[in-house]
Structure 1
């Protein structure tokens, strides 16, 4: 009787372990399928959003934020000359607004970068306006002429409703 009890208990334990393995296998299969579907959907969505045809159809104001790190040994006169760059950009068709400034003396935090010299913020009514601005001959010419004043430039664009 003792051996048959052990045998039954062993069979039940083995059956339980097999059921758990099956549950895990089904869970892993579902997870893989779901992950693959989500991955494919995300890839397709990103391709659709990045398509040039869709770019022109984006609705909302475009905020073009440009950070300049000027060369460290510029004279006060050279810095004033650099600022005339912004006056030229303001005249380019499609520019809705243009403001610029130096870094604010905010509290130093790990996420805050106040190392830039100037921040230029330009708004555009739509994607067409910023696309025209970026390739406009006056923009290209001015950027080339004034590049002698900076070591680094960083651009961040966003669209807001």
Structure 2
């Protein structure tokens, strides 16, 4: 909470105008599941996407070693999670030459891709 001078007024934290508002989560299944070389190549390709200016944040991961439950799908090989300010920035990312080069160089590695795009609901 932030207090303002003698006004005695308090502001509660809110989504600042500069906060990301769209999440883009992509899951990849390799053509050769379990291939460390293919996984490493895909991860290296995903890292190149960090140079696209409209991406606010990029995380790359693999299935976690958590408890096996019916609701947990750990069948994918690699995942990437991106944050954008808005849908237009996400579209700019899709069309960006770095993204296009990534797809061209790595699409032969995967057999399946699933994308979940989420608009962040304000508090």
Shorter chain as denominator, the TM-score bin is 0.7 to 0.9
Q: Which runs of 4+ in 1 moved over 4 A?
A: none
Larger radius of gyration: 1
Counterpart of 2:76? 116
| TM-score, L = length of structure 1 | 0.58
- Unmatched tracts of structure 1, length 5 or more: 1-58
CA RMSD of aligned residues (A): 1.9
Q: Deviations over 1:76-121 (max 9, x none)?
A: 3333222111121111120000011111122222221110011100
Of Structure 1 and Structure 2, the greater helix share is in 1
Q: 1-side partners of 2:104 and 2:49: how far apart?
A: 13
Alignment check: 8 A CA contact 1:74 1:149 kept: no
Counterpart of 2:112? 152
Shift of 1:74: 6.4
- Considering Cα pairs closer than 8 Å and 6+ residues apart, tell me whether 1 or 2 has the greater RCO: 2
| TM-score, L = length of structure 2 | 0.74
Shift of 1:148: 1.2
Change (3 A) 1:159 1:149: same
Alignment check: 8 A CA contact 1:60 1:159 kept: no
Q: Does 1:140 align with 2:100?
A: yes
- Unmatched tracts of structure 2, length 5 or more: 1-18
Which stretch of structure 1 is more off in the superposition, 77-86 or 123-132? 77-86
